Amino acid sequence: MTTLKNKSIIDIEDLSIEEVNSILDLAETYSKQNRQRNVPYNKLQGLGLINVFFENSTRTLMSFELAGKKLGMHTVNMSVSNSSLQKGETLRDTIKTLESMLADVIVIRHSQNGVIKMIDDMVDCCVINAGNGTNSHPTQALLDALSIRNKLGTLKGIKVAICGDIRHSRVARSNIKLIKMLGGDVNIIAPKELIPSGIDNWGVSVFNDMDEGIKNCDVIMMLRLQMERMQETKISDKQAYHKLYGLNHERLENAKKDVLVMHPGPINRGVEISAELADDAERTLINYQVEMGVAVRMACLDLLTTKKQK
């Protein structure tokens, strides 16, 4: 197994293919142990994990907490809204305070691009990016890759359609990098106003027509309209949006018969995906992705702290 050369996980491009495969292989083992409820519960005993989330989260926060606890870490979640940041303490002083408590890993989600890298440069402990602005969400890409690998055997030679609010999506950016690194191709599908500038340099095919874009794809990844990040772009008519860019059983008729339907969550029913399709466990991997999220985060915590383990 390849251990990780960097002390932290900040972005997909910082990882080598060997490191990615190491994370996915170990995560696969943990996913099996999770189902059998027989994880080695004291593997990371004595190590401290602090989750610091400046943006809302259900899946990512809970899965990091559970991942740490399953492996025996002292896991705590800092409540940003009740912290001394509200008394005017700087982010730097807050992070230095957490490091002084001998945190071994700090997991951070932050809305401002670049902040997590800056924090990583400030501390000696491991840092994991749990979603940074519109730029990066490496552990989401890793759990999506694991979900695909488990279902299709490989990402080599596959075609993935990523559809929806690409412009504001860190999930799309990290997934594109990882899918391409593992040998897959990507179709981007979105209305013009949700396609980011500079897309020509991303090495993807761009479609404005959804039926065209999903044709011949092995995977369709749907994305939420991230209203909280929209400044000048406004999509006001959600029904009209669903008609053109929503996924439902009818539209799936135009795709490959066994196409995998994915969504990182949270979903907005009736907007990017119909309620009926979201509830159709035979056709979507939404809950499976959440399950793989715990396993991937366990693998990341384990591989990053190898040197500190007893």
Q: Which residue of the chain is nearest ligand NCD when measured via CB?
A: 224
Instruction: Report if residue 283 touches ligand NCD, rule: CB under 6 A.
Output: no
Nearest C-alpha neighbor of 195 from the set 206, 184, 204, 186: 206
Instruction: Report if residue 177 touches ligand NCD, rule: CB under 6 A.
Output: no
- Which one of residues 72, 191, 196, 265 is an interface residue with ligand NCD (CB under 6 A)? 265
Contact 72, 42 (CB under 8 A): yes
Report the 10 Å Cβ neighbour count for 83. Answer: 14
Secondary structure, 3-state, 86-138: HHCCCHHHHHHHHHHCCCCEEEEEECCCCHHHHHHHHCCCEEEEEEECCCECH
Q: Between residues 43 and 137, which has the closer beta carbon with respect to ligand NCD?
A: 137
Q: What is the smallest separation between the CB atom of 128 and ligand NCD, expressed in angstroms? A: 13
How many residues form the binding site for ligand NCD (CB under 6 A)?
11
- Which one of residues 43, 117, 173, 224 is an interface residue with ligand NCD (CB under 6 A)? 224
Q: Between residues 171 and 260, which has the closer beta carbon with respect to ligand NCD?
A: 171
Structure tokens at 93: 């002083």
Contact 98, 122 (CB under 8 A): no
Q: What is the smallest separation between the CB atom of 289 and ligand NCD, expressed in angstroms? A: 8
Question: How are strands ordered across the β-sheet holding 105-110?
Answer: 74-78, 48-53, 105-110, 126-132
Instruction: Report if residue 31 touches ligand NCD, rule: CB under 6 A.
Output: no
Instruction: Report if residue 110 touches ligand NCD, rule: CB under 6 A.
Output: no
Instruction: Report if residue 226 touches ligand NCD, rule: CB under 6 A.
Output: yes
Instruction: Report if residue 133 touches ligand NCD, rule: CB under 6 A.
Output: no
Q: Number of helices (H) and strands (E), helices first, in the chain?
A: 11, 9
Give the span between the Cα atoms of 186 and 217, in whole angstroms: 9
Site string for ligand NCD, 55-74 (x = CB under 6 A): ----xx--------------
Instruction: Report if residue 164 touches ligand NCD, rule: CB under 6 A.
Output: no
Q: What is the smallest separation between the CB atom of 89 and ligand NCD, expressed in angstroms? A: 25
- Which one of residues 49, 264, 272, 285 is an interface residue with ligand NCD (CB under 6 A)? 264
302 Cβ neighbours under 8 A, 6+ residues apart? 26, 30, 43, 44, 71
Instruction: Report if residue 229 touches ligand NCD, rule: CB under 6 A.
Output: no
Site residues for ligand NCD, window 179-218 (CB under 6 A)?
none
Phi and psi dihedrals of 142, rounded to 5?
-65, -40
Q: Between residues 47 and 260, which has the closer beta carbon with respect to ligand NCD?
A: 260
Cα dist from 241 to 164, 246, 268, 278, whole Å: 10, 7, 12, 17
Give the interface with ligand NCD as residue ranges (CB under 6 A): 59-60, 131, 137, 140, 170-171, 224, 226, 264-265
